[in-house]
């Protein structure tokens, strides 16, 4: 992970509650996993939109890590990609 050099940015990050920071990191980890699966299967976000019946704009939101994934969404993605998104 890159160290943030900007003092103001570091201060802003430090002020984010730990729970919110953990939530963002988890969402980003899930988005990274979906991206990994897409690359392995030679698929695009457009392909994922088609497979899930969602709009490309929604897939884009998922992939930025700003989406609070529900179990329903995760199961939809896992089913569409025939691969578990979450490894337990």
Number of CB atoms found within 10 A of residue 17's CB: 8
Is this structure's pTM higher than 0.85? no
CB 56 within 8 A of CB 45: yes
Supply the pLDDT for residue 58: 93
Domains identified in the chain and CATH numbers? 18-81 (1.10.260.40)
pLDDT in tens, 50-72: 999 999 999 999 998 777 899 99
How many CA atoms lie within 13 Å of 14's alpha carbon, on the beta-carbon side?
7
Host H or E run for residue 84: none
pLDDT in tens, 16-39: 888 888 888 888 899 999 999 999
């Amino acid at each position: 992970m890159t160290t943030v050099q900007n003092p103001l940015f570091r201060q802003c990050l430090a002020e984010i509650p730990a729970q919110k920071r953990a939530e963002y990191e988890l969402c980003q980890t899930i988005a990274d996993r979906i991206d990994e699966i897409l690359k392995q299967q030679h698929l695009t976000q457009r392909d994922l939109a088609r497979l899930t019946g969602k709009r490309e704009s929604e897939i884009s939101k998922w992939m930025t890590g700003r989406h609070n994934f529900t179990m329903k969404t995760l199961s939809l993605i896992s089913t569409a990609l025939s691969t578990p998104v979450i490894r337990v």
